[in-house]
Amino acid sequence: MTAGETAPVASGAVSAAEAMAFAANGGLLLDVREDHEWDAGHAPEARHIPMSQLGDRIGELSADESMLVICHSGARSQQVTTALNDAGYSALNVVGGMVAWQLAGGAVTESGSQPSQA
């Protein structure tokens, strides 16, 4: 692999660079990390619904809207992606999560910034 190339991404997933382009164009980036992780830094465009609250807050998402799901490293977001797709939503996992997002140069907002609302 040469500089500038990205690693291949599994089916049902996108790279951090692809996620940044998707979010920049108004696509839904769903951050499923817990509140303390969100407060430590998140993508400015992201909507925050912690994985632990998703069952209670699923109505905040539209089954008609495609979304990318992100967490710290990609493991929790993969679980959420699978659950959302099984429930009739259209979701893709961001491989590498916020770690990959930051390594790819993605913007991060810190502190207790309020999550964007649906």
Catalytic residue among 43, 68, 71, 95: 71
Tally the C-alpha atoms within 13 A of residue 41's C-alpha that lie toward its C-beta: 9
- Distance, CA of 66 to CA of 37 (rounded, Å): 24
53 counts as catalytic: no
Q: What residues act catalytically?
A: 71
